[in-house]
Amino acid sequence: MNMKKSIATILVLAMLFALTACAAKTEPTAGPKTDAAAASTVEAAEQSSADNTDTTAAGADQTTITLAMHVSNTKEQEPAVYKVIQTFQQENPDVKIKLIEHTTEEHNKQLKLWAQSNELPDIFWCQEGDVQEYGKNGYLLPLNDFLSQNSDIGAAIPSAIKNCYAGENGDIYGLAYTSLVTGFYYNKVIFSDNGLAEPTNETTYEDLLNMVKTLHAKGVTPIAQGAKTNYSVWGYLGSLNRYGYAENIAAISNGSGSSKVFSGLFDKLAELGANGAFPKNMATIDYFEAKNMFTSGKAAMFTSGQWDAAEIGNALGKNVGFWWGPVYTDSDYSQKTSNQFANCPFVVSANVAKDKAKQAAVYRFLAYYFGKTGSSILFDNSNIPIATYTDMKTENSNPAFAAISKVLASGYTSTTASNPVASLTASVSETFYDAMNSLMLGNVTTKQAVASIDAAFAEAAR
C-alpha cells in the first residue's frame, strides 16, 4: 500500500513539474506576419537590469538596450533607421541594441500588454495617439533632461516638432523618430503613355478626376489602395488640412465642426471610388500588395510617404514623381499646405531611469540618432530627420527622394505639427480610417461617415 501511495505521489509531482515548466516565462514571439516582406524573427525584451551587461570580446562591459520597432523587418521596411542602429553599434561596441520587431498592429497590442506587466522595452516607437496616455500614467521618461544635456540637438529641432509630444506640464514624452512626409507617388511613364500631364501643385481635384476617368477607361488602375491596411490613407489625411482641419479641430472634437470640415473631402473620396479610382479588389488587398501594384507598374499613383522612397526609387528609377495631392477649389482654406509633419515618436521607458548605466546608454543612442551623424545617415538612406544641421554632410541620389525634396522646396508649409487624425486616440482615428475606406468602397454615405466620427469623438470624451 505504501508503494502504491509513493507511486501516486510521484505521478502527481511529475505532473506538477510539467505544469510549472509550461508556465515558466516564455519569450514573446512575433505577431502574425501580415507583411509580405517580413522575414525576421523577434527577440524578447529583457527588462532585468541585473542581466543587461555582458562582457565584450575586448573585456569591457557591454550594456544592452532594447528597441521596439513597429515593423516586422526593420532592415527592409525602415532601412534608414536600421542603418543608424547598426552604425551606432559599430562605433559604440560597449552598447548592444536588441531589436524587437512586430507589425504595427501587433506592436501596439504588445506595448499595452508589456505596460500592464511593467516590461516595456527601453526605447520604443509609439503611436501618436497613445503618447499622452502613456506619459500621464508614468510609463515614459521625459526627455527634457536629455535635451538639456544635448543643447545642440534641441536647437536643431524646430520648436513645434520638439514640443509635439509634450504633456501639459511641459514634460517632453518623445521625439519624432523622423519627419513624416506624405502624399502621392506617381508613375511618369503611365501618365505619358496615356496622354496625361503629370500632376503638379496646381492640379485641381477636377483635373485628378479626369485623370482617373481616363486611366480607368484604358484599364489602368489610377490609385493603388489596400483597404485591409485601413490606416494607409496618408495622402487623403493630408488633404484634411486643405479643408480646415487645423483651424477647426476644437469644433470637430465636440461634434459641431465635423460636417463642415469633412463633407467636402468625403464627397470626393466617394466620387473617386465610384469612378474606378481604386483597384476592384481594394477590400481584399493590403498596403504591401497595393505598393507592389504600384512598383510593378500596374497603378499610376500610390499614397505613401518618405519611408517608401528607397524602395520606390529603386523600383521605378527616374520615372517616379511625388505630389502633395489636389487643390480643392470648393474649399475656403489655404491650398498651399504641405504634408510634412512630426512622425510618431521614439519614447523611453520610465524604468530606464532605475539603471544609470542603461540610461547613459540610451542617451548616447538618442544623441547619436538625433545628432548630426544619425541625421546624415537617415538623409542618405532616403528618410528625413527632424533635426537639421547647417554643416550636415549628406549624399542621396535616390530619384524618389529627389522628387520628394523637389516638392518640399516648393515652400508650402503644414498647418498641423502632426498628421491630422493620427494624433487622436486609437478609437477615433480607427473610425476615421474606416470611414475613409468605406467611402472609397462606396459602402457608406458622407452623412453616415461623419456621423460615425462624431459618435467616436463623443464616446472617447465620456
Partner 1 sequence: MQLLSTRKNKLLLLLPTCLVYSVYIILPILLSAHYSFTKYSGISKPRFYGLKNYTRLLDDPYFWIALKNTAIILGISVVLLGIGAFFIALLFNQPMRGVNVCKALVFAPAIIASIIAGVIWGYVLDPVTGLVNNILRAVGLGKLALEWIGGKTLSPYSIAFVFFWQQAGYIAAIYLAGLKTIPHEMMEAAAVDGANFWQRLFRVTIPALKGTFVSVGILIITGSMKIFEIVQQLTGGGPTHYSETLVTYAYDTTFARGEYGYGMAMAMATFLISIVLMGIFTLLLRDRD
Residues in contact with partner 1, shown as a per-residue x/- string from 415 to 434 under the rule CB under 8 A:
----------xxx--xx--x
Going by the DSSP 8-state scheme, the letter that residue 275 receives in this structure is: T
- Tell me which of 98, 228, 260, 364 binds partner 1, using CB under 8 A: 228
- Burial (CB count within 10 angstroms: exposed 0-12, middle 13-18, buried 19+), residue 146: buried
Closest separation between CB of residue 107 and partner 1, Å? 11
Number of chain positions touching partner 1 (CB under 8 A)? 48
Three-state DSSP class for 161? helix
Q: Is 249 or 283 the residue whose CB approaches partner 1 more closely?
A: 283
- Do residues 369 and 176 touch, judged by C-beta distance below 8 A? no
Q: Is 149 or 427 the residue whose CB approaches partner 1 more closely?
A: 427
- Do residues 288 and 225 touch, judged by C-beta distance below 8 A? no
The yes or no reply on residue 137 touching partner 1 (CB under 8 A) is: yes
The yes or no reply on residue 349 touching partner 1 (CB under 8 A) is: no
- Residues numbered 14 to 43 that lie near partner 1 (CB under 8 A) are 15-16, 18-19, 23, 32
C-alpha neighbours within 13 Å on the C-beta side of residue 430: 9
Closest separation between CB of residue 426 and partner 1, Å? 4
- The grid coordinates listed for 217 are 477607361
The yes or no reply on residue 458 touching partner 1 (CB under 8 A) is: no
- Do residues 233 and 303 touch, judged by C-beta distance below 8 A? yes
The yes or no reply on residue 216 touching partner 1 (CB under 8 A) is: no
Q: Is 132 or 163 the residue whose CB approaches partner 1 more closely?
A: 132
**CA separation, residue 165 to residues 64, 105, 159, 231, 246 (Å):** 26, 21, 11, 21, 17
**CA separation, residue 20 to residues 9, 44, 458 (Å):** 16, 20, 46
Question: SS3 helix, strand, coil % of the chain, rounded to 5?
Answer: 50, 15, 35
Residues in contact with partner 1, shown as a per-residue x/- string from 248 to 287 under the rule CB under 8 A:
-------------------------------xxxxxxxx-
Q: Is 130 or 308 the residue whose CB approaches partner 1 more closely?
A: 130
Residues in contact with partner 1 by the rule CB under 8 A: 4, 7-9, 11-12, 15-16, 18-19, 23, 32, 105, 108-109, 112, 115-116, 130, 133-134, 136-137, 139, 227-228, 230, 279-286, 425-427, 430-431, 434, 437-438, 441, 443-444, 459, 462
